[in-house]
Amino acid sequence: MAKKILNVGCGESTYGTDRIDFIKTPTSTKIVDANKPLPYNDNYFDEIYANCVLEHLKNLGIFADECYRVLKHGGKLYIHTDHAGYLPFFILNTHEHNKFLDSQYRGGFQYGHEKGGDWHYHLFVASHLHGLFKRFRSRKVSYTYGGRNQLFRLVLRILPRRLGAIGITLEAVK
């Protein structure tokens, strides 16, 4: 039997058997507000994938509980989001979170993100993710490093305490 995979906030991604977003996108299979209970039965999915979604949600507790509810025992949860410890957010005026997002989306925001509006409500560190998804029996956090050029990426990697990590990923098992 094929695995059932929920892609939350799919955008244009084709990953997953069920692809949901808060508005219709070219690849979404259903329009769903992830701040509310998910329209799926208990223990339905083998995997839940949410890339760059968590920071947009107002109701994190509801989302975490719903992920736990619809994921099968032994199912995997993959969450990738913004890392609150990313040093350029704090020291570079051009990298303040809203301005940094503007620089990344020079062609305009997609899927209802209005230019100049900050639709990001949260930034995360590892303890936030561990606490939010504490019901899951296994949790592992990793970090991603970015940058527009090799030198900047290298400098970010050698900063202490993961201050150069722009993204944080949680992989968990129910």
- 137: confidence class by pLDDT, cuts 50, 70, 90: very high
Read off the pLDDT of each residue in 77-88 and give the average, rounded to a whole number: 89
Confidence grade of residue 20 (pLDDT, cut at 50, 70, 90): very high
In this model, does residue 71 exceed pLDDT 80?
yes
Question: What is the C-alpha to C-alpha distance for residues 62 and 90, in angstroms, rounded to an integer?
Answer: 30
Cα separation of the two ends of the chain: 20
Average pLDDT of the residues in 33-41: 97
Segment 129-146 mean pLDDT: 94
Q: Average per-residue pLDDT in the chain?
A: 85
Tell me what the mean pLDDT of segment 60-84 comes to.
97
Pull the structure tokens for residue 94. 């051009």
Q: For 39, list phi and psi in degrees, rounded to 5.
A: -85, 55
| Least confidently predicted of 20-34, 60-74, 134-148 | 134-148
Q: Kindly list the domain boundaries of the chain, sorted by start residue.
A: 5-173
Over residues 100-136, the pLDDT tens digits come to 555 555 555 454 444 444 477 888 999 999 999 999 9
User: What band does 97 get if pLDDT is binned at 50, 70 and 90?
Assistant: low
Q: Which fold would CATH assign to domain 5-173?
A: Rossmann fold (3.40.50)
What is the structure's pLDDT at 147? Answer: 67
Burial (Cβ within 10 Å: 0-12, 13-18, ≥19) of residue 99: middle
